[in-house]
Structure 1
Amino acid sequence: MRRLRMALSIMAVLIVVMSTTVALTFAMWLFLPRETKQPLRLRIPYRATMRDVLNLLERDGWSHPRWLFRRVAHKLDIPRRLQAGEFVIEPPVSRWRLMQALRQQRPHLISVTIRS
């Protein structure tokens, strides 16, 4: 009888701990702010070549822009020479998500618009 009571109390404690953990995890997922993903925007102040865009990306802190654009440019029909305007990669994606889409050979997940 004593062992049964001890086992039941241990099981009750485990159930309470597990349900609390699940509830806290769900609450954090629900209420904590998520990473805000903005479209990648580059303002191009003049007629730019792809090399100019790569230099702007490097200045912005992108780690492998040359690799990125070798993989992206022909798949997304980015013209070799861009007009002045805004270069936007949409939908808003994090760098990691963009790299994953490219590595998985699924560039259709990303669209590039060039607004003037």
Structure 2
Amino acid sequence: MIGLSDVSRDSDYANKIIDKADYISSNYENIFVIKNGTDLWPIFNNGLIYFRPTLTDGDSITLREAIFFGCQSIVSDVVPRPHGVSLFNLKEDNVLNKLDDMLEKIYVGN
């Protein structure tokens, strides 16, 4: 699932992101794109992992919602993050390994 914030199409960058997300969702049946300001918090109640690979960030409301609903979270370490999330560095860490490790802990319980 890919969640896009309420992004206007006023910039070339926003258009590229929206077009790429639309392409991915139309070509992969197991990926869904949520956009246009749709609330994500109901999904966190049943979600498996919240993944936030941002290069810049603030105090993310979405991350705090994921934590509140008990959704495991893997987030970039670009700013201080709340307790209880798994951090990664976009330049140094293998993010796929982190995701695999978290999925194994969820499914196997280790």
| Superposition TM-score, scaled by structure 1 size | 0.20
The structure that is helix-richer by fraction is 1
The structure, 1 or 2, with the larger RCO (C-alpha pairs under 8 Å, 6+ apart) is: 1
